[in-house]
């Protein structure tokens, strides 16, 4: 007898689905961080150039580009968008 898989509909926030207490903040950081990465990839910059543009050390650029957004605050990620000439509303 085979058991059918059980599926649960997502809330749209994987962090909330996992029951993390700071789910909204983590979700927002992820959304902002992904946008920063998209903008940087469009510019086809080397990590050294990204470091200069964003005003952060190269190891921090590496963390950003690897999606390690927990190392960066929401305010810092928003600052990166501003430095990338993105209008924030």
Asked if residue 6 has pLDDT above 90, the reply is no
Structure tokens at 47: 């990590």
Structure tokens at 60: 């921090």
pLDDT digits (tens, 9 = 90+) for 50-77: 999 999 999 999 999 999 998 888 999 9
Residues contacting residue 56 through CB under 8 Å, at least 6 positions apart: 64
pLDDT digits (tens, 9 = 90+) for 25-43: 999 999 999 999 999 999 9
Asked if residue 1 has pLDDT above 80, the reply is no
- CB contact at 8 A, 26 and 20: yes
Residue 84, classed as helix, strand or coil, is: coil
State how far the Cα of 9 lies from the Cα of 37, in Å rounded to an integer: 28
Q: What is the pLDDT of residue 64?
A: 95
């Amino acid at each position: 007898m085979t058991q059918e898989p059980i599926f649960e509909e997502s809330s749209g926030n994987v962090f909330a689905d996992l029951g993390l207490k700071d789910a909204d903040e983590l979700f927002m950081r992820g959304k902002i961080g992904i946008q920063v990465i998209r903008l940087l990839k469009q510019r086809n910059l080397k990590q050294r150039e990204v470091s200069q543009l964003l005003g952060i050390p190269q190891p921090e650029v590496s963390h950003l580009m690897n999606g390690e957004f927990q190392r960066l605050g929401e305010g810092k990620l928003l600052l990166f968008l501003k430095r990338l000439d993105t209008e924030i509303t």
